[in-house]
Amino acid sequence: METTLQGIQLLILLLLMIAVPVAMTIEKRHKIRVLRNEIAYWKHEVRKTLEALDATQRQAVLNYRRMSHPMANPPAGVMPTLQRLQQEQPQDTYALALGWEIVADQPEIVTVSLHGSSAVKSGHMLLTGETDSGKDTLAFLIAAQLCLRNRPDQLQVCWIDGKRADGAMWQGKAHNWREPTLGPDGIADAMHALQTERERREHLMVKAGVTRWEELPDGVRPPLLWIYVSELELLTMGTRDLEQWLKTELTAARASGMRYCIASQTVSGKSTTWRGQVGCYIAGCQSARSADEPNLGITSSEARDKGALPPSELPGSGYFTVRVKRDVATIRAPLVDLESRRAVLARLPAGVVVPAMAEPVRLVPSNGQRNGHHAETANGQRNGHHAEATNGTSASTMKSSAATSTQSSGNSSAAPVRDWTAAEREAVMTLLTTTERTNAQIVNEVFGIRGGRNYRPFVNRVVDMRSELKAVLTP
């Protein structure tokens, strides 16, 4: 009897184990059928509504449905964005993705290019947004893409960072045009150095008979230079007339292969004449609607008409509205945390760069470093590491030696040599650090001198500069 009861209980348990899942499955299928019927009903209603509209109204609805909107959660880090960029822009290594959007239910990147011949060229950038809007994160994303896709002899970066921490992460990298300027103390020197570099590049273009950096021959064309200024107000420390400096430098730098990205919380209330040289507006969150037009270059209503959000309507950090000429889009930049930044920087080659000074001199070993790779020295150390000056020799000593107008040692009877211009000194230093030219070839290329009374003093001075470079580079 007891055995029979146990058997009945077991049978009931088995039936329940089978019946409960079956009942749940039936219930779920019923809910699915109900949802499908509701979807079909609303599709039918939408179709009826569209059919009732006239052609103009119908097209407006369709356009709205196709309108892009920022991707809420773009893939984090630099690499997913970089991989997508390489798929879409495999040839243009100066192209960069600013962020992600959704177009026709598909994730897309918004891309611009620093190359002057690109159909999506950006020129100089104005990056604005209130505190914690994500400006420095976006700047890192831009720089990381450029450096990962280009060798140091193709692209260099210059950081002017008043907050110090972000720019400090780039110290010691081969892509640095000069070591990052951290804090206000070096602002004036950095601005003078940039002006000098622009003049040097103009000298190269005049000598080559071209009008644009892109037209310079491969053996002469210097790397494209991307300059990030973390706060516009920093530049007031380097000049009494910031407006004129910006207008002059932005106008001339673009043709010289120099691209500025100037960041600011807002440019509302600031002079607007220099903003005519800005090709790409990247506007983050703003509290006041009155800040929309100064920071985006178009009114709030114009931004909405083009399917984008005005800066005052952006939902939060990481959202930006981008405008290049008449094209406008609202995007979200990916989150790039500290670990992701360190991983990216670890992939970039190290380099030997002279600390920030009034006239920048970039020291790059001639073997191995031009291709972005480390070159092993005889004692096992890498040329990519910083070399400490020995016997009291320093970068400032080297600079003063290069600038001196006295005769070089070893030819005291030669005629006095005129002072070199900053552009000439920089041209000589560039050839010394990035080419295998002989001293005589450098004198001929920079000064057009093949012989004569002043030939030997010019060569001797180049020899002295080469010796100073060797002293700094030798561990």
User: Looking at residue 367, what is its pLDDT?
Assistant: 36
CATH number for 69-346: choose from 3.90.79.10, 3.90.1150.10, 3.40.50.300, 3.90.420.10. Answer: 3.40.50.300
- For residue 402, the one-letter residue type is A
pLDDT, tens digit (0-9, with 9 covering 90-100), for 198-243? 999 999 999 999 999 999 998 899 999 999 998 888 777 666 677 7
User: Looking at residue 409, what is its pLDDT?
Assistant: 37
For the CA atoms of 70, 230, 161, 271, what is the dihedral angle to 10 degrees?
180
- Does 431 score more than 50 pLDDT? yes
User: Looking at residue 391, what is its pLDDT?
Assistant: 35
Share of the chain above pLDDT 90, in %: 41
Q: In the predicted model, what is the mean pLDDT of the chain?
A: 79
| Residues 88/109, Cβ–Cβ less than 8 Å | yes
Distance of alpha carbon 119 from alpha carbon 99, whole angstroms: 18
Pairing between β-strand 319-324 and β-strand 327-332 as defined by DSSP bridges: antiparallel
Q: How is residue 236 written in tokens? A: 């007031």
Lowest mean pLDDT among 130-139, 141-150, 170-179, 354-363: 354-363
- For residue 395, the one-letter residue type is A
Q: How is residue 346 written in tokens? A: 């670890």
| Residues 109/99, Cβ–Cβ less than 8 Å | yes
Distance of alpha carbon 112 from alpha carbon 347, whole angstroms: 24
Which carries the bigger pLDDT value, residue 350 or residue 4? 350
Distance of alpha carbon 294 from alpha carbon 314, whole angstroms: 16
| Residues 115/92, Cβ–Cβ less than 8 Å | yes
pLDDT, tens digit (0-9, with 9 covering 90-100), for 9-60? 788 888 878 888 888 888 888 889 899 888 988 888 877 777 777 667 666 6
Site of tokens 């730098």: 253
- Cα Rg, the chain, nearest whole Å: 30
Spans of all domains in the chain:
69-346, 361-473
Q: Band the pLDDT of 439: cuts 50, 70, 90.
A: confident
Mean pLDDT of 188-201: 90
User: Looking at residue 9, what is its pLDDT?
Assistant: 76
Pairing between β-strand 224-229 and β-strand 181-182 as defined by DSSP bridges: unpaired
| Neighbour-count burial of 270, counting CB atoms closer than 10 A to its CB (0-12 exposed, 13-18 middle, 19+ buried) | middle
pLDDT, tens digit (0-9, with 9 covering 90-100), for 129-140? 999 999 999 999
Distance of alpha carbon 321 from alpha carbon 2, whole angstroms: 78
Which residues, in sequence order, are bridge partners of residue 262? 126, 229
Distance of alpha carbon 79 from alpha carbon 395, whole angstroms: 36
Pairing between β-strand 224-229 and β-strand 327-332 as defined by DSSP bridges: unpaired
- Residues 6 or more apart whose CB falls under 8 angstroms from that of 311 comprise 128, 129, 283, 284, 285, 286, 291, 292, 295, 296, 321
Pairing between β-strand 124-128 and β-strand 258-264 as defined by DSSP bridges: parallel
User: Looking at residue 404, what is its pLDDT?
Assistant: 37
Number of neighbours of residue 87 by Cβ within 10 angstroms: 9
pLDDT, tens digit (0-9, with 9 covering 90-100), for 55-75? 676 666 555 555 678 999 999
